[in-house]
Every structure is written in structure tokens, then in C-alpha cells.
Structure 1
Amino acid sequence: MNESMVTFQGWLGGDVRIQQAGGVVVARFRVASTPRRFNRSTGEWHDGPTQWYSVSAWRALGDHCAASLRRGDPVVVHGRLTQSSWVNQERVEMTSLEVDASFVGHDLNRGTSAFTRNGGRTAGESAADSPEPRDRVA
């Protein structure tokens, strides 16, 4: 398995778009990631060039992204990285970085988020694995 997996932090550049592809849901959105570097000699932070990633999230992950994410949200994305190149109408070669997401979440360094568990359990999860509700007194 020689796939490039990436994890990056960025900001949602637009609203999540939902489509049907091959009979399943796919959510598509773009994320802008701008690296920051600290220059010790000047004591200042400097932004590097912004990289834009096109993200696809399939099936339940896509549904959850559409229900949870909004333009401008800080997110963390992990998934398989691919690159596409093409020549545009002006005969300039263009490149796009695309990520097939495995995991997506809010970047909690930037704020708080509330989690709502979906109805089903994931593979290998039993009732004993589920945490007790916080408002329950023993």
C-alpha cells in the first residue's frame, strides 16, 4: 500500500456540497491551509503560501460533514492525498490537491464543538464501550 496519507488543519472555504455518486452520498468542500512560521530573529510570525485542498467525504462521513460544517469553520482533515493536473483554457498547466477523507473534525485549538452520537454503533463497539451520560449520578 503506497498511498500518501495526510493530516492538515485549515479553514472551510465554502459550504459543504452534497452529491450522489454511484448510489452513495459524497460531500465535497474546500479547505485553505496556511502554514505559519516564527522568525526568531525578528520575533514575528509570518504566513506561508496558502494551499487549497479539495476534500471528498463519502457515505456517513459525508452526511455528518454536511450537518456539522459551515463556511469559515476551523477543521482537521485526515485522508488519502491525490494530485490532478490539467491544462486550462489559457494553456496554463494547473494542479489540484485532493483528499479522500477518512476523518474530519473541528479544530478544537480554535474553539469548542458539541458532539451528537448517531443512532448506531460502529463496528466492534458494544454497549459496555459507550460512556455514561455526564448528567447521570451513580
Structure 2
Amino acid sequence: MSTITIVGNLGNEPELRFTSSGVAVAKFSVGVNRRVRDDAGNWTDGPTSWHDVAAWQHLAEHVAESLQKGTRVIVTGTLEQRSWDDPDNPGKKKYAWQITAQNVGVDLTFGTATFQKSVKSGAPADPNDPWATASRTRPHSAPAPAGAGPGYSQEPPF
């Protein structure tokens, strides 16, 4: 199997379904545009390549809850070819490529996002997990420590 990473926009709303054994699967498509220079030296969008993506289990549920058509995403996964018998031409096979997602994230190149860690339903937050107990507010500034010297600032260096 080949690993692939694509960056593009969701072409449709993720479709969440469950297998007969209760496993979640989300299917969606991602359109990838290459930027190309025309003869005048201007950048333009090239043709769109569409990729079918399937996400499974918790990732599927998170994708369906978090993303919508048009969201710019980064998808990493395995590239697999599927085949099936063509119902219109008996005895003839059809083929398609699909990415089975291992990771899906929002591309922050052109926007911002807020992350919320999910907690298993009914389970209390782990007190040893710094993300589960972290505050979303900045602590109040404390006075500079003695001997900090000139130019000391409580502000982060970014």
C-alpha cells in the first residue's frame, strides 16, 4: 500500500454511516487544485483532481461532526484501488482509487480553527492528561522575578 497526503477542499458534506456491526465510516471527496502559471506569468488554478476518501471509527465521527463542504483539509492515508463488476456491461470490471484516511485535519493556511479534545462517553477526564484539564484562559501576569534584569517581559516571545 502507498501512503499519500493531499491538501484540498471538501467537495461534499461527509456522509456518516455505520456497518452492520456498528463501526462508523465517513465518506467524502476532496478536490485538489494545482496552481499553474499561464503564458503571461500569472498564477491560475489548474484542473481539479477529485479524490474519494473513507475515514473509519472515531475519525469518521469526528470528520462528520467537524467538517462541511468547502472546508480546506489535509488528508493522510493509504491509497487503494477498488474494483467491481460493471452492472451495464456484464463481465467487465470497473476500477477506482480511494484514500483510506489515517489523519484528517483542517488546513490553517487561510483560516483559523479551534480544537476540542473528545472524551470517551461516560468516562471522566484523565487528571494526568494536560489537555483534559487545561484552561482556555491565559493566567494573570505575575510580577517579574527578582534579578530578572532589564528587558524582562512576561509576554511570550511570539
> CA, structure 1 residues 32+99, in 2 after alignment: closer, same or farther (shift >3 Å)?
same
Match of 2:23 in 1: 24
1:47 aligned partner, one-letter code? D
**CA deviation digits over 1:60-98, x for unaligned, max 9?**
100000000101111110000112356573799864221
Once residues 7 and 25 of structure 1 are traced to their aligned partners in structure 2, the CA distance between those partners, rounded to angstroms, is 22
- Aligned partner of residue 117 in structure 2, secondary structure: coil
How is 1:1-138 mapped onto 2 (pairs within 5 angstroms)?
3-21=1-19, 22-38=21-37, 42-85=40-83, 87=86, 89=88, 95-120=95-120, 127=128, 129-130=130-131, 132-137=134-139
Length-normalised TM-score, structure 2: 0.69
Identity %: 34
2:27 aligned partner, one-letter code? R
**CA deviation digits over 1:21-44, x for unaligned, max 9?**
2420111111111111345x6321
Length-normalised TM-score, structure 1: 0.78
Q: How many residues align?
A: 131
> CA, structure 1 residues 60+128, in 2 after alignment: closer, same or farther (shift >3 Å)?
closer
Larger Rg: 2
Once residues 93 and 33 of structure 2 are traced to their aligned partners in structure 1, the CA distance between those partners, rounded to angstroms, is 23
Which has the larger share of strand?
1
Any runs of at least 4 consecutive aligned residues in structure 1 with deviations exceeding 6 A, and if so which?
90-93
2:134 aligned partner, one-letter code? E
Worse-matched range after superposition: 72-81 or 86-95: 86-95
Q: Taking CA–CA contacts closer than 8 Å with sequence separation of 6 or more, which of the two structures ends up with the larger relative contact order?
A: 1
Match of 2:156 in 1: none
1:13–1:71: 8 Å Cα contact kept in structure 2? Answer: yes
> CA, structure 1 residues 90+50, in 2 after alignment: closer, same or farther (shift >3 Å)?
farther
Once residues 81 and 28 of structure 1 are traced to their aligned partners in structure 2, the CA distance between those partners, rounded to angstroms, is 14
